């Protein structure tokens, strides 16, 4: 069944260096629309300096992902919007300014409207997205009218103006050069126009446009190719063009012979550069010059937080309004699915009316046209009143179109409109998942596998926020308990888990099935300077949230410092780059699913580091009762993976540990045999044991418990020796 889907690259997850590589100009946006229209009924694109958002109406978001792949391997930076509710909420939140770099800014609505106009012009937008986009603009307007989210200064233009005043320029003695005459330059110069300045230069690739703007702002136009005089004279230079600029953009400033570039290193007096351009208008190496201050969009993002605090207070009310509009649109979308039935029913009623009037009018004798018109209007009103309850009933059915007895088909029979074809899925399954990119990636993959097994079902993704997402990973079931509560409450039908996150304590009424073949079980090292574990200097800081990993690495490099780190994949990588870590350890399977394995500096084989219990295994949790859902999930069950998961789980339970204990296990199963390798250590890693056991697959749990007992006894024996030595 078709749905609204999307993929987005935005400032939330992608640095400016990535965003500028994927920035689409108008011609590229048109080409993208036309290419994606081959795969989707409807397509809509928002392309701005801070985001590239592609929304479509179709069966899956996968074709949009394939389009992004043409640019290179950027999946780690993408936000997946796999289902109607998720995609629509994201667009409405964007229109409301909740996803903007400057919360609540107004400019995004103009950019959405421009995308709508472009889609209409090139006929890539149909009735579904047209209504969606218009509703998003209405949502943005409503949020700004009913909250104060847009009433505090926090736009990029305002922030740029505040940067100028922060550098203590006397405005009346300051010369400005604005490069570009697009939206961003217009906003900045509008702010500047409120203050008396010494002089304003306006440069553009289009000299005619530059002259028009300069005249409007009482400035002087300069040609882009001949602006070195203006550059030398200007104190503040603002870049806001999305076109390529041969200005301060050479890769190596020191080697450049271009006078327009070298002036920056030679000019006297301090200069302030504010770069709103994507791609960046100014060479980032200018920041190395003591006489220059340069701020690009990422820098501006870092310094806007204080100015946004008041707007943040308005976010809860804004989100409430977004959700109200989302509910309205979802009702409209479901009603539209049954629109052909309603239209056919009404046409039948109209035909009956016309036939009956043909019978009635001749029998009324000689009547005037006014009486005929009155009779026609009367019969039309009568039909409306008679049909309204039926039409409302069909609309109510549309809000729950997945009932087992297919009420839409029943309605078709009752209304005698068998010729209308409306797809009614046999069943709707709501799939619960966490909202992280990794969780969504593996959930979408599992849904694709389920669709292959049962294409007549509809699968809807529902994001559930867990304790782990809030940063509280110390509680049991940090990443699973919220999903389990939703399932028991009937809000979701199944939940997708990383098997290693599932607590050993079972939840009454639920069961978990390990599904699909196991992926790569190994762990990887990502180091800031590209060094392997052996190459890291003594005292280097390794970030890991797992005692299992640190205890094993301590056997190889006890001279390193192992420091706690938490967060999702991209969050940990960001912390490594900004918070004093030299390297971090992550699971290979997570990077592989996000198409990020190339960022790994070193991959540890299992003889170096055993995985966590259940690592690289996916589990589907569901209500523990026979039925269609259980039978469907069973078809994804992979017996060797299940046997390995059962054995590792038994090993973990026997040691009484959870995911935060220094315990590791890796079981490999065939149809008849199983081999289990395990690690058990003290929390400080000083006492460490590793061993292997093998035997018949029928004895998998007994073998796992035996191995656990052996390792535990060895650790306890070592502890006793230490205690005896300490007392003597």
Instruction: Please name the fold of domain 523-604.
Output: D-Maltodextrin-Binding Protein; domain 2 (3.40.190)
Distances (CA, A) of 31 to 53, 78, 119, 120, 383: 15, 21, 11, 14, 48
Question: Residues 254-289: pLDDT tens digits?
Answer: 444 444 445 544 555 788 998 887 778 888 888 888
Q: What pLDDT, on a 0 to 100 scale, did the predictor assign at position 403? A: 52
Can you give 422-436 as a three-state secondary structure string?
CCCCCEEEEEEECCC
Using the structure block, give the residue that is written with the tokens 């060479």. Answer: 283
Q: How far is CA 72 from CA 82, 566, 597, in A?
A: 21, 28, 14
Q: Which helix (H) or strand (E) holds 643?
A: helix 639-655
- CATH 3.40.50.720 domain position(s) in the chain: 156-303
Q: What does the mean pLDDT of the chain come to?
A: 84
Using the 8-state DSSP alphabet, how is residue 579 labeled? S
Q: What is the tens place of the pLDDT at every residue in 428-481?
A: 899 999 888 888 889 999 999 999 999 888 898 998 876 555 554 444 455 678
pLDDT, tens digit (0-9, with 9 covering 90-100), for 98-141:
888 777 777 889 899 999 999 999 999 999 999 999 999 999 99
Exposure of 367 in the CB half-sphere (CA atoms within 13 A): 13
Q: How many CB atoms lie within 10 A of CB 154?
A: 26
Where in the chain is CATH 3.30.460.30?
Answer: 3-153+314-319
* Separation of CA 220 from chain center: 44
Return residue ranges of the chain for CATH 3.40.190.10.
Answer: 523-604
Q: Which of 501, 520, 582, 646 is catalytic?
A: 501
Does domain 3-153+314-319 sit in CATH 3.30.450.20? no
pLDDT tens by residue, 199-227: 999 888 888 888 888 888 888 998 887 77
| Alpha-carbon span 555 to 608, nearest angstrom | 9
- The reported pLDDT for the residue numbered 267 is 56
Give phi and psi for 493, each to the nearest 5: -95, -40
* Single pTM value for the model: 0.61
Residue 43 CA to residue 6 CA, distance in Å, equals: 9
List Cβ neighbours of 441 (8 Å cut-off, separation of 6 or more): 80, 593, 594
3-state helix, strand, coil in the chain (%, to 5): 50, 20, 35
Q: How many CB atoms lie within 10 A of CB 314?
A: 22
Within the chain, which residue ranges are assigned CATH 3.30.160.40?
Answer: 638-728
Query: What would the two tokens of residue 305 be?
Result: 């937080």
pLDDT computed for residue 347 by the predictor:
79
CATH number of 156-303: 3.40.50.720
Backbone angles phi, psi at 271, to 5 degrees: -125, 145
pLDDT, residue 6, reads: 94
- Predicted confidence (pLDDT) per residue in 592-646, tens digit: 888 888 899 999 999 999 999 999 999 999 998 888 899 999 999 999 999 999 9
Q: 197-225 burial by CB neighbour count: b if 16+ within 10 A, else e?
A: bebbbbbbbebeebbebbeebebbbbebe
Which one, of 205, 266, 208, 209, lies nearest residue 241 by Cα? Answer: 205
So what's the pLDDT on residue 412?
A: 66
- In whole angstroms, give the CA distance from residue 343 to residue 340: 5
Q: Is 218 a known active-site residue? A: no
Give domain 638-728's CATH number out of 3.30.160.40, 3.40.50.300, 3.90.1150.10, 3.30.530.20.
3.30.160.40
Confidence band for 542, pLDDT divided at 50, 70 and 90: very high
């Amino acid at each position: 069944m078709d749905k609204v889907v999307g993929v987005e690259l935005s400032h939330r997850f992608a640095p400016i260096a990535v965003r500028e590589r994927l920035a689409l100009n108008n011609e590229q946006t048109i080409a993208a629309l036309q290419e994606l229209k081959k795969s989707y009924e409807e397509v809509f694109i928002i392309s701005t300096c801070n985001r590239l958002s592609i929304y479509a109406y179709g069966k899956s978001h996968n074709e949009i992902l394939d389009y992004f792949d043409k640019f290179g391997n950027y999946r780690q930076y993408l936000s997946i919007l796999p289902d109607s509710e998720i995609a629509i909420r994201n667009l409405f939140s964007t229109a409301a300014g909740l996803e903007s770099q400057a919360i609540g800014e107004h400019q995004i609505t103009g950019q959405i409207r421009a995308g709508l106009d472009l889609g209409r012009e090139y006929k890539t937008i149909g009735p579904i997205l047209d209504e969606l986009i218009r509703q998003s603009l209405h949502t943005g307007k409503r949020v700004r009218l009913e909250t104060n989210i847009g009433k505090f200064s926090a736009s990029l233009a305002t922030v740029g103006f505040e940067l100028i005043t922060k550098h203590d320029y006397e405005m009346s003695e300051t010369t400005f050069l604005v490069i570009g005459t697009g939206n961003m330059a217009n906003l900045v110069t509008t702010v500047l126009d409120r203050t008396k300045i010494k002089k304003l230069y306006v440069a553009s690739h289009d000299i005619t446009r530059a002259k028009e703007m300069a005249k409007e702002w009482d400035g002087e136009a300069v040609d882009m190719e001949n602006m070195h005089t203006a550059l030398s004279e200007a104190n503040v230079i603002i870049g806001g063009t999305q076109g390529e600029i041969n200005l301060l953009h050479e890769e190596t400033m020191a080697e450049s012979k271009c006078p327009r570039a070298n002036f920056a290193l030679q000019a006297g007096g301090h200069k302030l550069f504010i770069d709103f351009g994507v791609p960046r208008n100014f060479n980032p190496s200018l920041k190395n010059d003591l006489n220059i201050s340069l701020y690009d969009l990422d820098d501006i993002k870092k310094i806007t937080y204080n100015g946004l605090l008041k707007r943040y207070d308005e976010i809860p009310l804004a989100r409430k309004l977004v959700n109200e509009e989302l509910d309205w649109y979802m009702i409209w979308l479901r009603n539209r699915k049954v629109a052909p039935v309603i239209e056919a029913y009404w046409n039948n009623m109209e035909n009956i009316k016309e036939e009956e009037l043909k019978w009635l009018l001749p029998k009324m004798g000689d009547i005037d046209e006014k009486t005929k018109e009155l009779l026609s209007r009367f019969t039309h009103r009568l039909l409306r009143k008679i049909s309204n309850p039926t039409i409302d009933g069909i609309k109510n059915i549309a809000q729950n179109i997945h009932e087992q007895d297919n009420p839409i088909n029943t309605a078709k029979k009752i209304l005698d409109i068998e010729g209308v074809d409306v797809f009614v899925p046999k069943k709707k399954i709501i799939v619960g998942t966490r909202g992280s990119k990794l969780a969504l990636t593996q959930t979408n993959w599992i849904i694709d596998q389920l669709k292959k097994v049962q294409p007549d079902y509809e699968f809807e993704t529902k994001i559930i926020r867990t304790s782990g997402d809030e940063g509280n990973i110390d509680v049991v079931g940090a990443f699973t308990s919220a999903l389990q509560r939703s399932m028991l409450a009937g809000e979701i039908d199944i939940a997708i888990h990383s098997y290693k996150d599932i607590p050993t304590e079972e939840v009454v009424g639920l069961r978990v099935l390990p599904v699909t073949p196991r992926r790569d079980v190994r762990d990887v090292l990502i180091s800031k300077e590209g060094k392997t574990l052996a190459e890291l200097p003594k005292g280097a800081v390794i970030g890991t949230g797992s005692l299992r990993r640190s205890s094993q690495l301590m056997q190889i490099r006890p001279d390193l410092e192992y420091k706690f780190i938490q967060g999702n994949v991209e969050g940990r990588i960001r912390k490594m780059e900004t918070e004093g870590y030299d390297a971090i350890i992550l699971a290979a399977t997570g990077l592989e699913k996000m198409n990020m394995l190339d960022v790994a500096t070193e991959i540890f084989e299992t003889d170096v580091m055993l995985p966590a219990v259940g690592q690289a295994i996916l589990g589907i949790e569901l209500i523990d009762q026979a039925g269609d859902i259980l039978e469907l999930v069973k078809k994804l069950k992979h017996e060797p993976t299940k046997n390995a998961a059962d054995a590792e789980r038994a090993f973990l339970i026997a040691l009484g540990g959870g995911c935060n204990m220094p315990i590791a296990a890796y079981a490999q199963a065939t149809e008849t045999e199983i081999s289990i390798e395990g690690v058990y250590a003290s929390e400080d890693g000083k006492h460490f044991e590793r061993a292997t056991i093998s035997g018949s697959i029928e004895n998998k749990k007994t073998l796992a418990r035996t191995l656990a007992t052996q390792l535990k006894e060895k650790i306890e024996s070592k502890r006793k020796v230490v205690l005896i030595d300490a007392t003597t």
